[in-house]
Amino acid sequence: MNTVPAPEAAPASTGSPAELLSEMRGPVMWLTINREERRNAISPGVLAGLSEALARANRERTVRAVVITGAGNRAFCAGADLQSGKSFKFDYSEPHAGFANLFRQAKQSTVPLIARVNGACMAGGMGIMGMCDMAVSTPQAIFGLPEVKVGIFPAQVLSVIGNLLPRRVLAEMCLTGEPITAVQALEYRLINNISEDLDAGVEWLLGRMLDKSPAAIRRGLYTMKKIEAMAFEESMSFTESQIGLFALTQDAAEGQLAFREKRKPVWTGS
């Protein structure tokens, strides 16, 4: 896979200019939570930057994937910034909170999101990892929901990780607040892979995806996410209609022609 790194990471255009870094590496948008001194804890600037970046990625057809990671090698994201004393204070007149809105936005994304878990993935960090479609982890990473230790519960996070973990494992993590290792996370299929060379692991995953049809991936993610909450018959009716739309794309025609001509397809993404 050919990637062309940007000369340097540029600040995301929303929120604190240093708290979220954004750069394009070829067709892949890399987002780095840049609060290493706070173990990459979530702040209003981080939330705003992630939201703006995901909206941009879904507007621009040239973006084929988004990788989300944290600065340094200690933490992917430690969750809410408890040092601020304002982590769980909201405008309660607003029916939708900022963190929940980010999860909603990720659920709507038709650009694949990949978590590059470079260290501790805790509390709200589990939510950011869980909202991604795939995840690659360093062997040293740990995964935890420690909210009960500070009198809170991982309520919003449950919406994006509740279907990723076995029920009893999830209950133990929520009720004890104790973390699991990267090896356990892989065993429970919370993550896709563990890699000593984390960047190589991410590039391997990207390389297996970026040579495939952009149109099929975009509409395919839409289909996968839509049927998750559907009953069987509703899901079958929806997917019956979707397969016809897949077949009408230019990528579908090119892919089948390339198969017959025994050559690599040239995707247009349409």
The residue extents of the domains of the chain are 10-210, 214-261
pLDDT of residue 94: 62
The class of domain 10-210 in CATH terms is alpha beta
Q: What is the pLDDT of residues 43-63, one digit of tens each?
A: 999 999 999 999 999 999 999
pLDDT of residue 92: 61
Nearest-angstrom CA–CA distance, 154 and 146 = 8
- The residue among 14 and 233 whose pLDDT is bigger is 233
Look up residue 238 and give its two tokens.
């929806």
Q: Is the dihedral of CA 99, 86, 68, 199 positive or negative?
A: negative
What single-letter amino acid sits at 212?
K
Mean pLDDT for the stretch of residues 167-184? 97
**Which of these ranges, 71-80, 89-98, 192-201, 244-253, has the smallest mean pLDDT?**
89-98
Note whether 20 and 49 are within 8 A (CB). yes
pLDDT tier for residue 87 given thresholds of 50, 70 and 90: low
